[in-house]
Structure 1
Amino acid sequence: MLLKWLNFFGNLTETSHMSTSGEGNGGAAPAENQPQQEEVKVITLKIQLPSSISPQNQTVDVNSSLSENLGDIKQSLTIIPACQHLTSYDIVFKGIKLTEIFDDAADLESILSQLELPIETLDILNLSLKEKPYNLSGVYEHILKFREVIGLHFLDRTASDLGVAGGLSKFNDVELTEVKQNENSKESTPEEGVNDEKEPEVELSDEEKANIIRVSDQFISGETTSISNHGKFSSVINDLKIPIKSLSISQWSPVPPAQKTKGDLLYLTLQTLEGEIIHITCHLSGFFVNRSSTARFNPIIKINEKGSFHKDFILYNLVSSISPLFAKTIAENELMLGQSTKYPETYLLPTNTQLSYPWLANPEISIVQPDSSRAQLPAISFGVDGSDFVKDWNDDFQAIKELPKDTINQRILRERLINKSLFEFKKVATETAIEIIKGNLSSLNPNEQYDRQIYLKNGVFYSFSIDATGAFENTGDDEAARYAASKDLAGVRILNHIDADGIHNLVTCIVDYLGERIICQAPVPGIFNSPEPVDEEGAEPADKVAYGLTTDHSSVLANEKFNNALKPIAQALHVKPHSVELESGVKSNGELNTSKDIKGIIGTDDRKQGINMRYLGILAEQCLVKKDARLAEIEESSKANLEKVEAKKADDAKKAEEEKAKSPETRQKEAEEKAKNEAEEAKDENKEKEQTSLEH
């Protein structure tokens, strides 16, 4: 893939093809050699809730260790039911807003140190939550949280899915029961030795035995039902009731300049289950019902003839006060989810993995429900100006990989962020690749052949997995290029598994759709920058390759920086440092730790990027191995043994042909002679045995 970038943006003469990239512990040490686990100090955080969610200023307890950071504490608060609606708040300690002074990565130990609190003797820390004025970004976040709480995010996922029945299974239909264990059975310990006594059998009831027989008979009988029945999956989501008819951004948005000065941020339109249409103002102080209608704009708060009005810091509380059916439906949904299955993981939405889609699915599973705000989700989800949708994926991923990993908490945080980043990248790359194959996007080189066109969208580079440069001309053309893409992805997985410091790989995803294979990669920083102008007319632009075989195959570079970074990888793969000589006579200027075809590029961010990872730990197609004396001896011995085997086969075949050519009389005569000789040999053998017996 890199070669295509270089040729397209570096004004080279040929169109090149992008290379592709994707993405054990030993035996346990003896117990006496293992360091003792240090005792983790736990501090109880007593957090006083704000009046918007707890009029009685209720206090909740959160247990936290010194290594947990402020982001972990916020995550713990989202699990508490009383705090699940709160999105804009400050964590305060004695009037000090910790969320303003410290970022989410600050651990509790450093916070306590800067607050000059006695860490050794501190067991309880009193904190409080204070409402934080909303901004437009905070309003968007609160709306997304509201949709999640009331269950609309289930429908959002279904509507935007790439397939039907993603993640559904028959797990709930299996009716699994707890494994029965005998109460008298005990696990043997090393001190007790091996228990030779036979464990008593677990007793099953007649009903349990009948169920086992029924299930086994279904498998043994081989009877099959209609194929459509195999596509039926139990889906709890289809039984959900939506507590509102619609919630969308009002036609009166965006907010006029005059109203912005008064604190208005956004206008919403809510249609309740009772059929009433409510216009809501999102204000920096919260949410309230305004006097607007479909034809008339009046954003001030609505006060009825009794002098009452509807205003709240939490949108959920505001809607609950307006619509009695809203809270009733929410309660029914919670009851239904609790009674329908005891396995919440069968319906909860994953946030860091892609679900699998069955090849056979019943179309009745995919139930489409109306939601006028669904089309507005991109505007709500991708930030105020849409900048959240455009990311520097490569920089984000490499920055996460450079996070410290000395302690277990640091490793968990790092792996969690890596998993989340790769999931988001795969999701964006997959959706865009499908649009490319459908022809909905414009390429950077529209005059080229369809499968040679390249695309750049949302910080991701896309190309078809074909042999665009002729690199696989002698090894399979386009089929070899398609195969090499998957091998490249496997090489990057190895690189990620080794997790060596100092060397980076491109974030990569391969999408197969409708018979096409699209390679999606986050480009190297600075790869699109034009090379420095040259003084001589007609001179070639500078090559960006700093390690390995250059683009024009004129030299093989052995960069010391790359060699040092690749040394742990070479050791893990048992690759010795070696020099390289091409068929053209070009020699490397030093020893390499990998194949010459693995190219190294130093981006504008000073990170060392490796590409062409399909050659990681394997030999190139034309690689020649230098034979040593022992290897030559083994080959000669193997060759001699092979010649002996072949000679014996030829001799046996010759004898078989001679035997076949003999007449029946000759065969009979030879058989009689052979039998006579065998009889004489047996007679002599018996005489020898008799003589031996007499001697004894």
Structure 2
Amino acid sequence: RKDENTVGVSREESSLNVFNVTIQLPGGDDVEIQVSPKELVQEIIQVLMEHEDSCHRTCFSLQFEGNVLDNFSELKSVAGLKDGSVFKVVEEPYTIREARIHIRHFRDLLKSLELADAYNGIDCSSLAFLSNISGGDIGDFSPHENSVKKKKRSSSEQGLDQIDCSPPEYIFPGSTERPLQPLQPINSENKPPHCLKSLIMSGWNPPPGNRRMHGDLMYLTVVTMEDHHINITSSNRGFYVNQSTAETFNPKPSSPSHLSHSIVELLNQVSPAFKKNFTALQKKRVNRHPLERIATPYQVYTWIAPNTNHIIDCVRAEDAYNLRLGYEEHIPGQTRDWNEELQTTRELPRKLPADQQLRQRANFKINSDFVGASTRGAMAVIDGNVMAINPGEETKMQMFIWNNIFFSFGFDVRDHYKDLGGDHAAHVAASHDLKGVQAYSDLDIEELYALGTVVLDYRGYRVTAQSIIPGILDRKEDQGVLYGSIDFGKTVSTSAKYLSLLHKACKPLRILRHTVLNEKNEELLLCSSVECKGIVGNDGRHYILDLLRTFPPDVNFLPLQEEYILQECRNFGFPKLYRHRLCSLRQELLEVFVQHKYAQFMKIVMELSQKGELLQPDKDENGSIKDELKGADIVREACRQIGSVSEYIFDIQFNPDVYSP
């Protein structure tokens, strides 16, 4: 009852903390939104950039009672804020960075309903099929604020008996046609309206020195749907049409002069077709389900992407040949500390459900950003746009640092995998390491940290991108390794702290605590594979890396001596030679195997209990003690038959270092 009352009070307090504020837009329009004291001012700005009436604005600030609000401050820190308060949107002067962001956002609005970026995986874009699969049954309410009526459905749509649920012919056996298009449930009837024919950067860029003194930032060339070619100047005050042509540079404003703080407002005045089509585009965009409108940077590539029209796009062209470090990051002019952001989000509170939700959202966001940055960095590395930190080495041995991310190739450098398959082993080691990082990250063990890791294949190269441990670049290779081995088991280190942390992962990952021999024939206890390394960074965190042997090897593909091979395996032709010796068992297979063994364990216990083979008759006053021993004998025998590592409880574990060289 105490817990129920506490939950009720917390819910009541949370409902009382939510209040409404009014956002006053330039031009007199008002937007009313619901906020909570824990929200950041930046979140309100993001809502305004998605709202239908204010989505075309990017360079503005929020003011309350004449004071400019800090974007990264919480609303509860704003003095005098209450229910019904009015925030005022104030247009701010543009800089080159803000002008680029504005043009990029304008381009995203124009492309919001198109699927070309999603098919190509640009900026982690992904496909969304919610509306196509649900048929519009999800979210019957229109998201417009002024619309409170449900969408009316025809009687044919309401009648379930009129729905044709028969499968198409092409999925039946014997069909001669196997079309791929149905695998992409795209509704071709809802094609987005085209607002412009082209929007490109003008050839008159950059502005000359005298025009920079007047505030010119950049020049744009636009071809409207009416086939009018206009040149637009982006200045610190906003956007206006100039008198330049393809042959003549004349930066003076055209007549009549239209100066607008937003490029959408400017194009609405000079192109009636743009105004009409952009309004229709906005209605379609807003009517989409929120799960499709919100950008979810979870990349899903498809190998059956249809051919799409390749249209001119200045933002896409700029991204292809620029690193974008100047204006894409949260802190202008500085690169992000990916490792600190990744580990800090893992350290967020997790006790309350609300804390867990915020923590999961933060983890998803930072991991998605890290994957996107790693993808751009790997492409820049392969394209030769990043200088190596060891340019004197051979190409496959070179390493790179870009945007605080460490990049390395999937080749066998320094003959580490010479006896395991060379480059073939190094290629698969990267994916095995990624699986190990994912396994330990899913366990979410406190005080145990894994590096942010991304494996990318691009133009025939495999690149591994990792966050950087603080201080690791200032040490030698053998310095700071408190746990594991850096030379495949010749010298092994262990640590009580790492043993206590890794022991928490032994049971869920089915890892057997085992001992290994170093070059001095000394036994050392490990709770992971010998290749797993434990390093304490300068930030005091305990990191683990090189997790390629997290799961046990597949002995069916290892060249073992004949006395270790069962006759059943020989009959099936095992072991089979493979091009590398890093074949490992999948985690899903281990779980299925453990479930199978548990079913055998319970069956054996039931059979022994019914037969009474190990039961001893009660002959004296200690019969009750003997009855307990009878049950223990049954469990012990069942554990022995199924191969449990414990004599008294069911426990299946695997040694990841078995048959290792």
TM-score, normalisation: structure 1: 0.64
Counterpart check, 1:598 vs 2:546: no
Superposed, 1:250-649 pairs within 5 Å as 250-302=202-254, 304=255, 308-334=256-282, 350-357=295-302, 359-363=303-307, 366-372=308-314, 374-377=316-319, 382-383=325-326, 391-405=336-350, 407-430=352-375, 433=378, 454-468=399-413, 479-512=424-457, 517-529=462-474, 531=476, 543-551=479-487, 555-559=491-495, 562-563=498-499, 566=502, 568-569=504-505, 581-582=517-518, 584-588=520-524, 594-616=528-550
CA shift, 1:322, in A, is: 1.1
CA shift, 1:611, in A, is: 0.5
CA shift, 1:270, in A, is: 2.5
Higher RCO, 1 or 2 (CA under 8 Å, sep at least 6)? Answer: 1
1:94 to 53, 59, 65: 65
1 CA distance for matches of 2:173 and 2:63? 67
2 CA distance for matches of 1:380 and 1:596? 39
The amino acid across from 1:613 in the alignment is L
2 CA distance for matches of 1:167 and 1:317? 30
Contact 1:43/1:124 (8 A) holds in 2: no
2 CA distance for matches of 1:477 and 1:380? 33
CA shift, 1:599, in A, is: 0.9
Could you list the per-position Cα deviations for residues 636-677 of structure 1 after superposition, in whole angstroms to 9, with x for gaps in the alignment?
9869xxxxxxxxxxxxxxxxxxxxxxxxxxxxxxxxxxxxxx
Distance 1:220 1:576, change over 3 A: closer
Counterpart check, 1:147 vs 2:107: yes
Could you list the per-position Cα deviations for residues 495-527 of structure 1 after superposition, in whole angstroms to 9, with x for gaps in the alignment?
222223333222112234677644332333333
Contact 1:91/1:98 (8 A) holds in 2: yes
Secondary structure class of the residue paired with 2:199:
strand
Moved more, 475-484 or 314-323: 475-484
Contact 1:502/1:565 (8 A) holds in 2: yes
CA shift, 1:428, in A, is: 4.0
CA shift, 1:268, in A, is: 2.5
Contact 1:505/1:609 (8 A) holds in 2: yes
CA shift, 1:400, in A, is: 3.3
Could you list the per-position Cα deviations for residues 24-73 of structure 1 after superposition, in whole angstroms to 9, with x for gaps in the alignment?
xxxxx99869854432124433324232xxx2x23322111222222322
Distance 1:218 1:83, change over 3 A: same
CA shift, 1:317, in A, is: 0.5
Counterpart check, 1:45 vs 2:20: yes
Gaps spanning 5+ residues in structure 2: where?
139-155, 559-632, 643-661
Could you list the per-position Cα deviations for residues 586-624 of structure 1 after superposition, in whole angstroms to 9, with x for gaps in the alignment?
455xx65544432122334444321022344869999xx
CA shift, 1:464, in A, is: 4.2
Distance 1:577 1:66, change over 3 A: farther
The amino acid across from 2:20 in the alignment is L
2 CA distance for matches of 1:174 and 1:221? 27
CA shift, 1:296, in A, is: 4.1
2 CA distance for matches of 1:429 and 1:396? 15
CA shift, 1:316, in A, is: 0.7
Distance 1:504 1:247, change over 3 A: same
The amino acid across from 1:243 in the alignment is C
Pairwise CA RMSD of aligned residues? 4.8
Counterpart check, 1:172 vs 2:132: yes
2 CA distance for matches of 1:385 and 1:76? 19
The amino acid across from 1:139 in the alignment is A
Distance 1:143 1:229, change over 3 A: closer
Structure of higher CA gyration radius: 1
Q: What count of residue pairs does the alignment treat as equivalent? A: 543
Contact 2:64/2:86 (8 A) holds in 1: yes
Counterpart check, 1:129 vs 2:68: no
Secondary structure class of the residue paired with 1:351:
coil
Secondary structure class of the residue paired with 1:269:
strand
Contact 1:556/1:587 (8 A) holds in 2: no
Counterpart check, 1:73 vs 2:9: no
The amino acid across from 1:44 in the alignment is F
CA shift, 1:146, in A, is: 1.4
Contact 1:433/1:462 (8 A) holds in 2: yes
Contact 1:170/1:234 (8 A) holds in 2: no
2 CA distance for matches of 1:245 and 1:312? 21
Gaps spanning 5+ residues in structure 1: where?
1-28, 179-203, 532-540, 623-629, 640-696
1 CA distance for matches of 2:376 and 2:225? 34
CA shift, 1:311, in A, is: 0.9
Contact 1:595/1:620 (8 A) holds in 2: no
Distance 1:88 1:94, change over 3 A: same
Secondary structure class of the residue paired with 1:613:
coil
Moved more, 475-484 or 260-269: 475-484
Moved more, 252-261 or 151-160: 151-160
Contact 2:207/2:217 (8 A) holds in 1: yes
CA shift, 1:562, in A, is: 4.2
In percent, how many aligned pairs have the same letter?
Answer: 25
1 CA distance for matches of 2:463 and 2:235? 45
CA shift, 1:145, in A, is: 1.6
Contact 2:215/2:235 (8 A) holds in 1: yes
Counterpart check, 1:82 vs 2:24: no
1 CA distance for matches of 2:280 and 2:222? 21
Moved more, 477-486 or 126-135: 477-486
Distance 1:213 1:68, change over 3 A: closer
Distance 1:455 1:298, change over 3 A: same
Secondary structure class of the residue paired with 2:473:
coil
Secondary structure class of the residue paired with 1:279:
strand
TM-score, normalisation: structure 2: 0.67
Distance 1:227 1:286, change over 3 A: closer
The amino acid across from 1:426 in the alignment is V
Distance 1:171 1:449, change over 3 A: farther
Contact 2:222/2:230 (8 A) holds in 1: yes
The amino acid across from 1:603 in the alignment is G
Moved more, 419-428 or 558-567: 558-567
1 CA distance for matches of 2:469 and 2:262? 44
CA shift, 1:135, in A, is: 2.0
